[in-house]
């Protein structure tokens, strides 16, 4: 097969569960040979769709799909400005599809293209939540009973506890409110209660979602140290990452960071200076598997482990790619796993399955996942903007998510 060309790039918006998913299919000149990729930027998926149709698809049309490295650089550099979330996701859709094609051509699962398995399966963490410490503990017990040994625990959902309405000034906008002060009090209380209720063996995680003043983040990481978290996630906003040095200086709470990162310049100093323990980027958000593999290799000698972002707004295709990376790279840490719906399993045959706290890739070539386009067409995306990202502090001001 010396002549092989990309003949079309198609994108599909579908919403089989809560999140709007954007799936990319790269079609080649070889009959029946195509690849699937994830381009899901669930909050701005129409912008990604337009970037793919008008800019990325014409750029790669007629090119050899086996040249994934050259094509990734072409897609990233051709627009001159780069490393933004819309274009990174569009590039990821094609990049992942090219790796899928490469695996299918070789007759191998993608993880075999990168050195094979370092482990047979990837440990996952699930999400437990509730309004009280007791409710969170009860929800965590449900996961433990399924064999999951790592549990992310949140009280009060996002953005957290609302704070008293009486504190708001006249004219405060409606919406979701949270009190940083209450949160600082509540989170250590939550983990003290969870250790008492669940014991010391379970691995506990917590996500701050960037919503603290930097010095409060330093205080909280220190306050949580006695409860031996597996990791504390996104304790600082991307704008505040220089504060990680201060956090490191006062405690040994393991730190995970990265789901909002787009640009390698944001990530590299944290790794090289050993300021975080887990890199937690959203693989499509940084431009796909090509940069994710490089990032994992960069992290390895610095002792930083991978924890790819994996909630419901990572598509099943993106999750398959995560799992291939997880079983392959030696410095894998943990995989976030949101429960997928029966409809998602129907729409994406081959979607990896979790058994007894581990997720397993299959041995099919490429990502080992298919996509039922007809079924997806019956579940189109419903347009709209998210509301959970709009959180306000008690004085009515918007907080950064």
Binding site for Mg ion (CB under 5 A): 207, 259
Nearer to Mg ion, 100 or 259 (CB): 259
Which residues does 60 contact at the CB level (< 8 Å), separation at least 6? Answer: 6, 9, 26, 71, 74, 75, 94
The per-residue DSSP string of 78-98 comes to TTSS---HHHHHHHHHHHHHH
**Least separation in angstroms between CB 67 and Mg ion:** 34
Find the distance separating the first CA and the last CA of the chain, reported in whole Å. Answer: 49
**Least separation in angstroms between CB 209 and Mg ion:** 6
Nearer to Mg ion, 26 or 307 (CB): 307
Which of 74, 66, 88, 62 lies closest to 2, judged by CA?
66
Which residues does 237 contact at the CB level (< 8 Å), separation at least 6? Answer: 210, 260, 400
Asked if 158 is an active-site residue, the reply is yes
What are the Cα distances from residue 41, in Å, to 59, 92, 321?
Answer: 21, 11, 16
**Least separation in angstroms between CB 259 and Mg ion:** 5
What are the Cα distances from residue 163, in Å, to 159, 160, 212, 301?
Answer: 11, 9, 15, 44
**What is the three-class DSSP state of 164?**
coil
**Least separation in angstroms between CB 42 and Mg ion:** 14
Nearer to Mg ion, 158 or 360 (CB): 158
Nearer to Mg ion, 71 or 123 (CB): 123
**Least separation in angstroms between CB 96 and Mg ion:** 21
**Least separation in angstroms between CB 399 and Mg ion:** 15
**Least separation in angstroms between CB 233 and Mg ion:** 5
Nearer to Mg ion, 34 or 282 (CB): 282
**Bridge partners, 109 (sequence order):** 366
Which of 209, 282, 309, 324 is catalytic? The answer is 209
What are the Cα distances from residue 79, in Å, to 24, 59, 75, 84, 267?
Answer: 20, 10, 7, 11, 22
Q: How many CB atoms lie within 10 A of CB 199?
A: 9
Which of 74, 75, 64 lies closest to 28, judged by CA?
64
Task: Report the residue number whose CB is nearest to Mg ion.
Answer: 207
Which residues does 31 contact at the CB level (< 8 Å), separation at least 6? Answer: none
Q: How many CA atoms lie within 13 A of 364 on its CB side?
A: 15
**What is the three-class DSSP state of 314?**
coil
Which residues does 250 contact at the CB level (< 8 Å), separation at least 6? Answer: 218, 221, 222
**Bridge partners, 125 (sequence order):** 150, 336
Asked if 54 is an active-site residue, the reply is no
**What is the three-class DSSP state of 196?**
helix
Nearer to Mg ion, 338 or 343 (CB): 338
Nearer to Mg ion, 104 or 309 (CB): 309
Nearer to Mg ion, 207 or 313 (CB): 207
Which of 158, 345, 360, 379 is catalytic? The answer is 158
**Least separation in angstroms between CB 390 and Mg ion:** 17
Q: Mind telling me the catalytic residues?
A: 158, 209
């Amino acid at each position: 097969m010396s002549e092989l060309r990309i003949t079309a790039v198609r994108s599909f918006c579908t919403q089989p569960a809560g999140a709007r998913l954007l799936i990319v299919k790269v079609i080649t000149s070889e009959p029946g040979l195509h690849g699937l990729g994830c381009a899901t930027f669930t909050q701005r998926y129409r912008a990604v769709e337009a970037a793919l149709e008008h800019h990325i698809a014409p750029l790669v049309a007629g090119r050899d799909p086996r040249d994934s490295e050259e094509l990734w650089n072409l897609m990233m550099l051709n627009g001159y400005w780069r490393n933004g979330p819309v274009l990174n996701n569009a590039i990821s859709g094609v990049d992942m599809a090219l790796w899928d094609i490469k695996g299918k051509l070789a007759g191998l699962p993608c993880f075999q293209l990168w050195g094979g398995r370092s482990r047979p399966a990837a440990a996952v963490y699930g999400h437990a939540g509730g309004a009280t410490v007791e409710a969170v503990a009860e929800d965590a017990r449900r996961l433990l009973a399924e064999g999951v040994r790592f549990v992310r625990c949140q009280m009060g959902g996002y953005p957290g506890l609302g704070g008293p309405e009486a504190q708001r000034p006249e004219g405060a906008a409606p919406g979701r409110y949270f009190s940083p002060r209450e949160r600082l009090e509540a989170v250590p209380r939550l983990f003290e209660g969870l250790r008492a209720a669940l014991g010391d063996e379970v691995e506990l995680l917590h996500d701050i979602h960037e919503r603290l003043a930097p010095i409060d983040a330093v205080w909280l990481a220190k306050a949580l140290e006695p409860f031996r978290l597996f990791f504390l996630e996104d304790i600082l906003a991307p704008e505040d990452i220089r504060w990680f040095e201060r956090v490191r200086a006062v405690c040994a709470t393991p730190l995970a960071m990265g789901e909002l990162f787009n640009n390698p310049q944001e990530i590299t100093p944290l790794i090289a200076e050993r300021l975080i323990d887990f890199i937690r980027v959203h693989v499509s958000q940084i431009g796909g598997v090509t940069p994710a593999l490089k990032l994992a290799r960069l992290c390895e000698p610095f002792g930083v482990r991978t924890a790819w972002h994996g909630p419901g707004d990572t598509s099943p295709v993106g999750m398959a790619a995560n799992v291939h990376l997880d079983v392959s790279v030696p410095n894998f840490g943990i995989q976030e796993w949101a429960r997928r719906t029966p409809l998602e399993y129907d729409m994406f045959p081959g979607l990896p399955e979790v058994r007894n706290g581990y997720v397993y890739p299959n041995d099919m070539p490429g990502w080992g996942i298919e996509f039922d386009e007809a079924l997806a067409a019956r579940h189109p995306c419903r347009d709209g903007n998210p509301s959970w990202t709009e959180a306000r502090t008690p004085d009515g001001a918007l907080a950064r998510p």
